[in-house]
Chain A
Amino acid sequence: MNTLTFAIELAYWQQTTIRAIVGLVAVLIPAGTLVYLFLFKMMSFMQSRLGPMEAGPYGSLQLLAEVGKFLQKEDVIPRQADRVVFKAAPFVVLISTFLLVLVIPAGPDAIFIDIDTGIFLALAVSSISVIGILMAGWASSSKYSLLGGLRAAGQLIAYELPLVLAVMGVVIQAGTLNVQGIVMAQAEGEIFGYGGIGNPFIFTQFLGFLIFLVAVQAELTQPPFDMPVAESEIVTGYLTEYTGMRFLLFFIGEFATAGIFSALAATLFLGGWYLPGFDPSDNLFNVIGPLVLMGKVILVAFLIFWFRFTYPRFREDQLQTLAWKVLIPLSLINIVITGVLKVLV
């Protein structure tokens, strides 16, 4: 495999512009793909109907049509609403998504920042979206929004813990908080001496993977954990008073976050941008890495959305019981077992 190296000297502002554009693309392309593939098509097929077919071939431009529709809607803010907080809330939720994409590698060199505490940064900034949702619920000055916001507060904070603890098992097994290091540990690892497919942590951390998926489902307020947005009960909870472009920001933000969390799960458990059979430091991965990662994102997102379209909603107390009494003890047991095995084996 011949290696091709590109070296261009770019000024700092040019680098920053390129990074900003790539960051935007890295967030919006998975969001758009996930919305089309899973929300429009997979949900429709699971309900024995075809979904949008008119806009573009097989309805592929439906998202563009929806964006156009939302853009031309009237911007309504309730009279009693706290205007500054109301307007800022969607951006706070989106900021956490864009910050999350900084630490996920798409290739051995294709990473925005390669810091030694990458996972810690990712989990910390993912909590910012909780504040955004609370801001939306409170500032809307409406009964439904407040109820949705309070339910969201309880749920999102409760499921932060299983999310973090499930990742702990991966970190213990990889031995580093550096995300690139975790990918390398999976690429260069061996299962009982066989190094052909590396050592994707999903095999040893299967419990952690399941807990991570459930916690991600709850963090995204997807059914079965969608009490904050319980459509048939409180209209759309904290989203009720948002119209037009602001609602679109929340909507795209939700799917972008789903994409980014799936990318995180793919990186932590499935091996990230690595494809077995190649040398991990090969420059080829800088080109096909994003595609491999996208494929794994679609796989994980398929699981998340499959659960979303199958299960009915949890009641608030059932939700909290699941988090505190089931997931946290399970993830703690996972950490103990991983730690013990790491030392002994």
Chain B
Amino acid sequence: MSRPTLKLPGLLKGLGVTIRTLFRTITRGAHTVQYPRVKESPTPRARGVIALHEENCTSCMLCARECPDWCIYIEGHKYLAPPRRPGGKPRQKNALDRFDIDYALCMFCGICVEVCPFEALFWTPEFEYSEPRIADLLHDKSLLGKWMETVPEFEDYEPGAEVKKAKVPR
């Protein structure tokens, strides 16, 4: 077997590292964040939960079709809206009866947000929505509308960009 070489200076340096960390934690606090008492906010573009702006939605079903987990449930009905000008034709519009996202199934891929042509779905960094019952993880239309309050403004483009930044509908 090979000769044992103790390499004492390296050993002492290792001891120094641990004792230094010990004293730094005692005097200046730990690196970790004590979660329930201190909350770090995630970045604005973090994917926490998906919010729905109901007025933009036309029940085109693209999000429900493209969702890989089939976790979006949409039910709607057609109704006739009054014409825009007097003497015009009544317009046919879609109304949403039910728009549920089942967050027990959702894999937070964002395909629904990306694919929506009318910009009705938005990401928000809100993550504290855990429930004791799995059934309560099915967020209905009103709850999804409430999440709209937590949607942050879109990030600015770099200065000198030609495209104007979109606004989140409130």
> Which residues in A have some Cβ–Cβ distance to B below 8 Å?
42, 44-50, 53, 306-307, 309-311, 317-318, 321-322, 325-326
Chain A residues whose CB sits within 8 angstroms of the CB of B22 once the complex forms:
42, 45-46
Binding site for A on B (CB under 8 A): 1-2, 4, 6, 11, 14-15, 17-19, 21-22, 24-26, 30-32, 34
Tell me which residues across on chain A come within 8 A of B15, comparing CB atoms: 306-307, 310
Q: Which of B4, B18, B31, B32 contacts A322 (CB 8 A)?
A: B4
Please pick, from B1, B18, B25, B34, the residue contacting A310 in the complex, using a CB distance under 8 A: B18
- List 18 other contacts, CB 8 Å, given A309-B18, A318-B4: A45-B21, A45-B22, A45-B30, A46-B18, A46-B19, A46-B22, A46-B25, A47-B21, A48-B21, A48-B24, A48-B30, A48-B31, A49-B31, A306-B18, A306-B19, A310-B14, A310-B18, A311-B11
Cβ A46 vs Cβ B21 within 8 A: yes
Residues of A within 8 A of B2 (CB): 321
Name B20's closest neighbour in chain A (CB-CB): A46
Interface centre among A45, A307, A311, A326, by most B CB within 10 Å? A45
With A47-B21, A48-B21: A326-B1 Cβ-Cβ less than 8 Å: no
Say yes or no: B32 contacts A50, CB within 8 Å.
yes
For residue B18, which residues in chain A have a CB less than 8 angstroms away from its CB? 46, 306, 309-310
Q: Contacts of B34 on A, CB cut-off 8 Å?
A: 50, 53
Name the distance in Å between A40's Cβ and chain B's nearest Cβ. Answer: 13
Q: How far is the CA of A307 from the CA of B14 in the complex (A)?
A: 9
Contacts of B11 on A, CB cut-off 8 Å? 311
- Would B14 and A321 count as touching, CB distance under 8 A? no
Kindly state the separation between the CA atoms of A306 and B32 in the bound complex, as whole angstroms. Answer: 21
Task: State which of B4, B30, B32 has its C-beta within 8 Å of the C-beta of A321.
Answer: B4
Q: Which residues of B contact A47 (CB under 8 A)?
A: 21
Give Cα A310 to B13, complex, Å.
10
Query: Which 6 residue pairs are nearest across A and B when measured between Cβ atoms?
Result: A45-B25, A48-B31, A49-B32, A310-B18, A46-B18, A45-B22
* Chain A positions within 8 Å of B6 at CB level: 326
Residues on B with beta carbons closer than 8 Å to the beta carbon of A50: 25, 30, 32, 34
- Known contacts A309-B18, A311-B11; A49 and B30 CB within 8 A of each other: yes
Minimal beta-carbon separation of A329 from chain B (angstroms): 11
CA distance A325 to B24 in the complex (A): 38
Cα distance A321–B26 when bound, in Å?
38
A80 → chain B closest CB, angstroms? 36
A136 to B31, CA, bound (A): 39
Are B26 and A45 touching (Cβ within 8 A)? Answer: yes
Q: Report the separation of the CA atoms of residues A50 and B26 in the bound assembly, to the nearest whole angstrom.
A: 9
Interchain nearest-CB distance for A332 vs B (Å): 17
Query: How far, in angstroms, from A268 to B32 measured CA to CA in the complex?
Result: 40
CB distance from B25 to the nearest CB of A (A): 4
B18 → A minimal CB distance (Å): 5
CA A322 – CA B26 in complex, angstroms? 35
A323 to chain B, nearest CB (A): 10
Q: Please, which residues of chain B bring their CB within 8 A of the CB of A307?
A: 15
In the complex, chain B residues whose CB is within 8 Å of the CB of A306: 15, 18-19
Q: Do residues B17 and A310 form an inter-chain contact, with CB atoms below 8 A?
A: yes
Shortest CB-to-CB span from B30 to chain A, Å, is 5
**Do A325 and B19 contact each other (CB < 8 Å), given the known contacts A48-B24, A311-B11?**
no
Contact between B17 and A317, CB atoms less than 8 A apart: no
B29 and chain A: residue at smallest CB distance: A50
Say whether, besides A46-B22, A48-B21, A326 and B32 are in contact (CB < 8 Å). Answer: no
Residue numbers in A under 8 Å from B4 (CB-CB) = 318, 321-322, 325-326
In the complex, how many angstroms separate the beta carbon of A162 from the nearest chain B beta carbon? 14
Q: Who on chain B is nearest to A303 by CB?
A: B15
Report chain A residues within 8 Å CB of B19.
46, 306
Whether A311 touches B14, Cβ cut-off 8 Å, given contacts A49-B30, A50-B32, is yes
Residues of the B chain whose Cβ atoms lie less than 8 Å from the Cβ of A44: 25, 30
A312's nearest neighbour on chain B, judged by CB, is B14
Q: Considering the complex, give the chain B residue whose CB is closest to the CB of A54.
A: B36
Q: How far is the CA of A98 from the CA of B104 in the complex (A)?
A: 53
Q: Could you name 17 residue pairs across A and B whose Cβ atoms are closer than 8 Å?
A: A45-B26, A45-B30, A46-B18, A46-B21, A48-B21, A49-B25, A49-B30, A50-B34, A306-B15, A309-B18, A310-B15, A310-B18, A317-B1, A321-B1, A325-B4, A326-B4, A326-B6
